[in-house]
Structure 1
């Protein structure tokens, strides 16, 4: 549960708003991980975050608005440092490794993102939230492959669309499967292994 015990007396109005929104998103993520998306109500999120029952409605308007904010915040910067990398093979490999490492780092918002992603296949409203997010990830992957083809670091026989589909499917499958493993895997080791497998696949 988000620690809301620190006094906000000296914070500006903007800082108080940002702090409240952060607490609400963490509270929502904790509920999703513990009980599933159906358990989330604006009132419960407000209480879990240490605020009033009505504050989540004030900040996000609706449950859909809250989930949309959570999904966007979770995916933004999901793999740190990519913004500083030039498009191409090495950036793509860094994305692959960083994405898998992130799945195992214990961050509740990342875990909630994965839970919501899995539930989206049976929930039209959740599916709509992820349509844009999925398209952005696919575009990111494809852009790196095309850049690698252009600079010669990716084998010329590689089909960008085919590989984008295969890589996206693998990342999604890993995201959904890792939390279900009865014996926890070393996500860092797995990330390095998958990275090198893709390096060989894309360059040979």
Structure 2
């Protein structure tokens, strides 16, 4: 019987994944203020020292958690060209993913809300929201260029409105899951943005 020996990189990746999972679970259960390196290490089955070894500290771990959580949140977008169809697919997919909110997505939303009052988190989440708005803005600009989006539309203003709407719905879903009918919202909100953005 042969066994595949794990490489050092495999062990590193496994440890980092376990630490990020532990951090996300602790944030959801106890809040970001209760998050410590010792608790993260203990939850993941490692020492506090390994958290420092992999991430350097709590701030770097939270940054990695924020980036990892939102990367590829809506699958399949990379295969679509920029434009109105991709924008609507992103909105629809984002809302669809809310129906399957994982501990990572819950942690991201809690951290995002906490960033309003925590300066050490604010920079991370300003960057994440700017990346989100840039993605949306590029789709709107491509739609204007190909004639599927009204040229009178302001790409930056629409991007801000969409991010605000989606993040707001996500927070409502997190706080009161029963009052947010994700499937109904997918139809109505995607239809709203199609009508609002299409040329008259």
TM-score (norm 2): 0.92
Match of 2:108 among 113, 117, 121: 113
Q: CA RMSD in A?
A: 1.7
Match of 1:178 among 169, 173, 182: 173
Gaps in structure 1 of 5+ consecutive residues: 1-7
Match of 1:159 among 151, 154, 157: 154
Residue 69 of structure 1 aligns with which residue?
64
Cα distance change of structure 1 residues 11 and 184 upon mapping to structure 2, 3 Å threshold: farther
Gaps in structure 2 of 5+ consecutive residues: none
SS in 2 for 1:122: coil
TM-score (norm 1): 0.91
Match of 2:197 among 190, 197, 202: 202
SS in 2 for 1:54: helix
SS in 1 for 2:21: helix
Q: Does 1:41 align with 2:32?
A: no
Q: Is the 8 A contact 2:172 2:180 kept in 1?
A: no
Q: Does 1:126 align with 2:124?
A: no
Cα distance change of structure 1 residues 182 and 99 upon mapping to structure 2, 3 Å threshold: closer
Q: CA deviation at 1:182?
A: 5.7
Question: What is the CA–CA distance in structure 1 between the aligned matches of 2:4 and 2:118, rounded to whole Å?
Answer: 41
Question: What is the CA–CA distance in structure 1 between the aligned matches of 2:183 and 2:15, rounded to whole Å?
Answer: 32
User: Greater CA deviation, 176-185 or 161-170?
Assistant: 176-185
Q: Does 1:87 align with 2:82?
A: yes
Q: CA deviation at 1:191?
A: 2.3
Q: Is the 8 A contact 1:102 1:110 kept in 2?
A: no
